[in-house]
Chains A and B, each alone.
Chain A
Amino acid sequence: MKRRHYLLLAVVVVLTLVILNLSPRTATQFKLALGSLFLPLFGLAGSGQQVAEKAGNAVVPRKDLLKQIEQLRRENAELKVQLPRLAELERQNAHLSAQVGFKQSSRLNIKLARIIARDPANWWRNVQIDLGKRDGLRVDLPVRTAEGLVGRVSEVSETRARVVLLGDPTCPVSATVRDALNNVVDQGVIKSPAAVLDEIFVELNFLRNATAVKPGQLVVTSDEGGLFPKGIRIGEIVDVRPVDFGLVHVARVKLAVRMNALDDVWVMMP
């Protein structure tokens, strides 16, 4: 009996070693295939959530709904007034850019995605979204919300993708600190969270001109890393402190996006 146990153990150990030493590409393919087993459950959870939302909507008093409609109607009217003005400004901008020889920035092409799962391990920060290759997603596309940057796509399967969030060491972001007049104050790299337990703050490392960095200043993406477009809001400076006996300074940044309360994100398509 014991001999059979050891034999079985040996088989499983060999299998585990083989799996652990698979090439990254094969391991990723294998992971995506295994993860697709959960798709029916994800679908079921999504449907359940929708039903719950519908049930919740059904009990909202008519008075509140009318109030919301009125508010939205007013916002819509305001936006309609602003739209021709913005269109005219865009036209002027394109005309002047063409005259000066500026490269035209392409129109914002985004796709809305729903968060379907979070990493079950405590030591990674990533989520899975319900868009995949069939929706045109590929690795390294930036992901954001209306408030700011969320992270980047790290793995893509046919129907879903993994998004590694800001603060995870595998998602370094080159960032720029700007003052109230939108002037560049300093640059750095966001590579780690400020603390393990909070998903609100991250650390901005490798500051060059730390004395000019002040609390409240805006932190946005710079295009130095090559992955993220310039100017996406990341958050704002909370404080700056010296580390390594004052040789370098690290700033704590309060993220614009609440990572632990994400439901929907936008993937910025090429």
Chain B
Amino acid sequence: MSALNTLFILALAFVAVFVESSFGGLRRLIGVQIDLLPALMVYASLSSGMVTVSLLAVCGGLWFDALSANRLGVSIVPLLVIGFAIQQFRHLILRQETYTHLVLGFAASGFAPLLALAIILSYGGEPILGWGTLWQWFAMTVLGGLLVPVYFQLFNRVYRVLGYERVIESTYRADREIARGRS
């Protein structure tokens, strides 16, 4: 299941990068393209091991940069930092709580673009920045954060479809039935 989970996560990352570059409806509407990878990294780091986190950071980052004018490798670093940080404190995190998913999602989606921009600027890049960048960052943080519970729902559904059906044992036992009345 672990290998399958890794495969699903990588496949979703690939599709997510494609969707980000091909469908610009939200960009036309609010002027912002949401980054789908930080939220996916939150899911990956809460549900899988460090190998999956590393693979997602490297593959997701490289795929993103391949379709972007970013310097190649820029997007790997934020994803890796997010994944590694969550992995380190995984035992302290309430992994099943939607509230936790949201908080981690907001933090990751807000942090990733800031670190990516810092790396781009440190390498002498000239990204388009201004007051509007604040709005873009806010929208990326909020909408990206909201995606984490969606990813959890999505993967839970996929595993429910693919996995064995769980047998729910009833508390009622026929051999313990108390027969009442006159016999």
**What is A's interface to B at a CB cutoff of 8 Å?**
4-5, 8-9, 11-13, 15-16, 19-20, 22, 27, 30-32, 34-35, 37-38, 41-42, 45, 116-126, 128, 154, 162, 164, 167-170, 192-193, 195-198, 260-261
Q: Which residue of B lies closest to A192 (CB)?
A: B128
Please determine whether B126 and A169 come into contact, CB atoms closer than 8 angstroms: yes
Closest 3 CB pairs of A and B: A196-B132, A123-B127, A34-B66
Q: Which residue of A lies closest to B32 (CB)?
A: A122
**What is B's interface to A at a CB cutoff of 8 Å?**
14-15, 17-18, 20-22, 24, 27-28, 31-33, 35, 50-51, 54, 57-58, 61-74, 76-77, 80, 84, 87-88, 113, 116-117, 119-120, 123, 126-133, 135-136, 140
- Sample of 8 further A-B pairs with CB below 8 A, known A5-B88, A196-B136, A260-B28: A15-B58, A16-B58, A19-B73, A35-B67, A38-B66, A117-B22, A123-B117, A169-B127
Measured between beta carbons, the chain B residues less than 8 angstroms from A260 are 24, 27-28
Please determine whether A12 and B57 come into contact, CB atoms closer than 8 angstroms: yes
Instruction: Name the contact of A122 in the complex, choosing from B17, B18, B50, B136 (C-beta under 8 A).
Output: B136
* Shortest CB distance A198–B (Å): 8
Instruction: Name the contact of B76 in the complex, choosing from A16, A22, A42, A121 (C-beta under 8 A).
Output: A16
Measured between beta carbons, the chain B residues less than 8 angstroms from A125 are 128
Measured between beta carbons, the chain A residues less than 8 angstroms from B72 are 19-20, 22, 27, 30-31
Measured between beta carbons, the chain B residues less than 8 angstroms from A34 are 62-63, 65-66
* Shortest CB distance B32–A (Å): 6
Please determine whether B128 and A196 come into contact, CB atoms closer than 8 angstroms: yes
Give the distance in Å from the alpha carbon of A244 to the alpha carbon of B127 in the complex.
22
* Shortest CB distance A31–B (Å): 5
Measured between beta carbons, the chain B residues less than 8 angstroms from A192 are 128
Give the distance in Å from the alpha carbon of A239 to the alpha carbon of B80 in the complex.
46
* Shortest CB distance A69–B (Å): 32
Known: A120-B21, A193-B128. A5 touches B63 (CB 8 A): no
Please determine whether B54 and A12 come into contact, CB atoms closer than 8 angstroms: yes
Measured between beta carbons, the chain B residues less than 8 angstroms from A162 are 69
Give the distance in Å from the alpha carbon of A123 to the alpha carbon of B77 in the complex.
17
Known: A170-B126, A196-B128, A260-B28. A4 touches B50 (CB 8 A): yes
Measured between beta carbons, the chain A residues less than 8 angstroms from B22 are 41-42, 45, 116-118
